[in-house]
Structure 1
Amino acid sequence: MKPPSFDYAAPETLDEVLDLLERVGDDAVVIAGGQSLVPILNLRLARPELVIDIRLIPELATYEISEKGLLAGAMTRVLEVEEHPDVDQVPGLHAALCQIAHPQIRSRSTIGGSVAHADPAAELPALLVALDGSIVLRSMARGERTVSADDFFSGPMMTARESDELVSSVSFPAHPGQVAVLEVVKRPGDFATVGVVVGYAISDGAISSPSITAFGVGGRPMRMTSAEEALRGASPCSESFQEAVELVRGEIAPLADAHASSEYRRQVTANLVERALVALS
C-alpha cells in the first residue's frame, strides 16, 4: 500500500518546526528516522495533513555521553551511539541499543523517534523508565518543559506530548550499578514478546538503587516497585532474589495477544528478572 496524500515540510530551524506544529497541531506528524512512521503511513493507519521532516536541524542531532549519562538530541542515530567508544559509561545502554531490530534499521532509527513513538515492546522507552530518565519537550506556546519518563509514557504509543510540542532531547542518567537488558523474541530483530531491564548497585554489602522494569507486557514499560523495595538494603543472595521474583509474579498483570498468553508473559518476565539478578551478582 501507499500512504494517503500529505503536505511535506523540511524546515531548517527549530523555530520553524515549532511554528508548524503550533499552526497545524493534531494534523501534523514529525518524521525523524522514519522506521516506524513510514510503515504506519503506508498502511494508512495515520492520515496527516502535514509531515514535518526534522533531519535538517543540526542541533537535534547532537549528543553527549559521559559518566553522568547520555543526553541525546531527538535526531541522534541509534547506531552512532551504539558504536561510540564511551557507550559503556551508561550501564545497560549498549545492551538495549544492540537489541533494536537490525543494524541497517539502527543506522536510520533515532533516539527521539523511538521514545516519541512509545511502543510498549521497545527497548529504549523501557531503559528510559528504568534509569529514571527524562524528556525535554519544546513548543512555541509553553517554551521548554522537562517530563520524567514515568510521566511521559501513558499507554500504547501514547505520551504526555501535546500536539504542538516536539521531543527535542532525551536524557538517560547513568545507573550507579550494572544494568542487564534481557528479552525474548520470536525472531532476531523482532519487538520483544517479553523484556526486562534490571539494575542494582552494592553498597556496604547490601543492594542499593534497585530497578526492575518490564516491557512488552502491557501498554507501557512497567516498574516493579514492590520487588524493588524488597531488594533495597537486602543481601545479594538467592533468597533475596527469589523473594523479588515472586513479587514480580504477583505484581505483574500482562496483556494477552496473538503472540503470547498472559500467563506465558508472567512466567517469562519472572524468569528473566531472576536471570538478570543472578547475572549481576
Structure 2
Amino acid sequence: MSSYKLSAEQLQFYRDNGFLVIKRLIDFTDLHNYKERFLEACNGKVNLEALTVVKEKSLVTKYKKREDYINKIQDIHFDDVFMTYTEHPLLLDVVAQLIGDEIMIINAMFINKPPGTLIHPPHQDFHYMPFRPVDKIIGTWTAIDHAHINNGCLWVIPGSHKATLFEHENLPGALKMYHGITEESVAPLDRRVHIEMGPGDTIFIHPLIVHGSEANNTKSYRRSMCAHYVHVDCKCVDVRGTKQDIVVREVEESKRKQGINMTFLEFWHLKSKPLKGISKL
C-alpha cells in the first residue's frame, strides 16, 4: 500500500505558515470518480436525504440544471463513493503526521463553484467548530479542476493561524453560513497569497488560518473536495455565548425549521465519524 512521508521541511513550513500544499496527491481516476458521483447526484441517481445540498441563490432562478446552481454537497463522508476521498490512504497519512494517528472526520464537502459563484469572504474554519484543542484539527482541500485566480482559487494569509479567533458575521453578498471576518484589516489584499492548484493538488490548512476564495468569473466549473479531521482526544465544548454564538443559533434554527430539535453539539456528534481509534467525544 502506498504512503506519503512528510519531510522535516514540510512539517516546519506547516508550523510556520499554517498551510501546506502537496502536488498531485490524489490521482486522476479518483478525481474522475468524484466528479461522476456529483453529476449522478445532480441527475437524481443518488439519494441525497442523508446529505446537505447548498444552492447558490443568485443562480437558482437563472438555470435549470442542478450542476449550474448547486454550490456544494456536505456530509459526503457517509457516501460510498465520496468516502474514498475522506478515507484515502495518502490523505490520512499526511493528516496523521500533522495532528496525530488516531483521527476522526467531522465534515466533508464536494464543492462545485459553477460560473457566476460569488466570493467566499475571509474566514477561519475554527469559527464553525466546537472542538478543542485547535492544533488537533486540520482541513484538506483537493482541486478536481485547475483552480486559478479567475475561477475562484483559494487564498490564504500565511502565519495568521498564530493569531486568535476573530469575530465573524453574515456579510453582504455572501451565502448564509458563509460567515466572514468583520475586521477588514485582518485580510488586506496585499497579504493574500493565492494558491493556484492543478487537479489532484491538495492543501492542508490549520483551522485558524485566515483564508477565502475568489468569485468564479469564467464559463467553467471549479470543483474540489474538502474535509476536516480532528484527533480522537479532542473534546466538544459549549460555545454558546462566545464569538461562535452566531453559528450555534443558525444551526439550531435551521434544524428547527426541518422539524428537528437538536443542539449544536448534537449536530457535530452526528456528523463525526471515527476513522482510526475510538471517538472520545
- TM-score, scaled to structure 1: 0.29
Structure number with bigger Rg: 1
Query: Whose helix fraction is larger, Structure 1's or Structure 2's?
Result: 1
- TM-score, scaled to structure 2: 0.29
Kindly indicate whether structure 1 or structure 2 has the higher relative contact order, using CA contacts under 8 Å at least 6 residues apart: 2
